[in-house]
Amino acid sequence: MPQPNDLSRSLTTLEQDSTLIVVIEMSLSSWLVAGIVPGIERHPAKKLEPDEAALLQLLQRWSHEASKAGHAITRTTVAFEAGRDGFWLARWLLARGIEAHVIHPTSVAVSREHRRAKTDRLDTELLKRAFLGWLRGERDHCSMAAIPTLAEEDARRPNRERESLVGERSRIVNRMKGTLARLGVRGFKPTLRKAPEQLERLRTPEGTSLPPNTLGELRRNMARLRFVIEQIEEIEATRLVRLQQQPEESAHAMVRLLARVVGVGIETADMLVQEVLSRNLRDRRAVARYAGLTGSPDESGIRRREKGLARAGNARVRRGMIQLAWRFVIFQKGSALAQWFRARTADARPGTRKTMIVALARKLLLALWRMVTVGQMPEGVALRAPT
């Protein structure tokens, strides 16, 4: 039985004689809009400037042409691939009564020729075939991405910005350590509070002070580092204030519940809630697949092998869950999941722990998903006192 949130096929019966089907190949400088207009044998295509008002006028013009051909349009469907422009156009069209869909780019089958022709016009033809099969309710033509609201998109920004800032912090620190290593200076920690004061006292192995240009570069890097650290602290403080001011809000309640699990911090809990647990995923398989924690078997004839993680899902969730799985083994030794992991890695064969930690991450994600959706607590998991 199809699920109401199954995005692998359309659940609405397609009446092609009264449905205007439109696909858009979007780029930075132009949009190529192609359609299937009932009553018109040719498939029109029009290149537009990136302008939503011009797109709406084009859809109205094609609807009028279909009406003159004796086919009154009762349903207008528009689809385009997910990309740089995000979901704003889909929300804009939905607000004006037009059915909009966002296609997962990797779900559209393409030619496997070594050097296949690729143009915007050929891409629209490919999208039309895939979208038409999806509208007919047939599987494996393409799959759609869930269109988030503006508030849902905005809620993900703090965690993603913090991730970017943490990466920038690491790059600055590594750059400073590399600069000092070229002079033979080791053991200096740029992240310490008194690190700027210690720069003047640093000496090379020859006993000389740091050269003036190098010293100026390090000072500027330290100024950048302080600024980045202040921004990270600002994001974390703002999130804590938001959780305290609206503790009963749906996403905040899930964050507070996950943060009670020993080994799960506010940062990990917020990432999991905003990226995966607040999504309307239909079952446990969809949860694991979205996180990219499923396998990729390679079977042909007598060959049977596993190529590892599919890595087709959310990379942030996958990285976070593998890190959390290692922490879980340390901080939740009495839990059923940790005991399951230790029982299967007792032989310590090469690669066993690496393989099983992925399985543990998948099991742990499903346990957390059940905890926030149906209130089923994982067996043996220790919780912090409620705050």
pLDDT greater than 50 at residue 1? no
- Which residues lie below 8 Å from residue 61, measured CB to CB, with a gap of 6+? none
pLDDT tens profile 206-221: 989 999 999 999 999 9
Report the alpha-carbon distance of residue 232 to residue 334 in Å, rounded. Answer: 34
Which 8-state DSSP code applies to residue 103?
A: E
pLDDT tens profile 2-22: 565 678 888 889 999 999 999
Segment 256-262 shows an average pLDDT of 93
Is there a contact between 118 and 160 (Cβ–Cβ < 8 Å)? no
Confidence of residue 299 (pLDDT cuts 50, 70, 90): confident
pLDDT tens profile 330-367: 999 999 999 999 998 887 676 788 889 999 999 999 99
Report the alpha-carbon distance of residue 369 to residue 272 in Å, rounded. Answer: 9
- Among 54-63, 179-188, 289-298, which stretch is predicted with the lowest mean pLDDT? 289-298
Confidence of residue 79 (pLDDT cuts 50, 70, 90): very high
Around Cβ 80, how many Cβ atoms within 10 Å?
A: 23
Around Cβ 170, how many Cβ atoms within 10 Å?
A: 11
Confidence of residue 374 (pLDDT cuts 50, 70, 90): confident
pLDDT tens profile 121-175: 999 999 999 999 999 999 888 999 999 999 999 999 999 999 999 999 999 999 9
CA-based radius of gyration for the chain: 27
Segment 113-117 shows an average pLDDT of 85
Segment 243-272 shows an average pLDDT of 92
Report the alpha-carbon distance of residue 8 to residue 144 in Å, rounded. Answer: 6
pLDDT averaged over every residue in the chain: 91
Is there a contact between 312 and 289 (Cβ–Cβ < 8 Å)? yes
> What percent of the chain lies above the pLDDT cut of 70?
98
Report the alpha-carbon distance of residue 87 to residue 80 in Å, rounded. Answer: 10
Token digits for 227? Answer: 């600024």
Is there a contact between 218 and 199 (Cβ–Cβ < 8 Å)? yes
Give the pLDDT of residue 296: 85
Closest CA to 291 of 268, 278, 305, 310: 310
- Among 105-119, 219-233, 234-248, which stretch is predicted with the lowest mean pLDDT? 105-119
Report the alpha-carbon distance of residue 93 to residue 261 in Å, rounded. Answer: 42
For residue 133, what is the enclosing H or E element?
Answer: helix 120-135
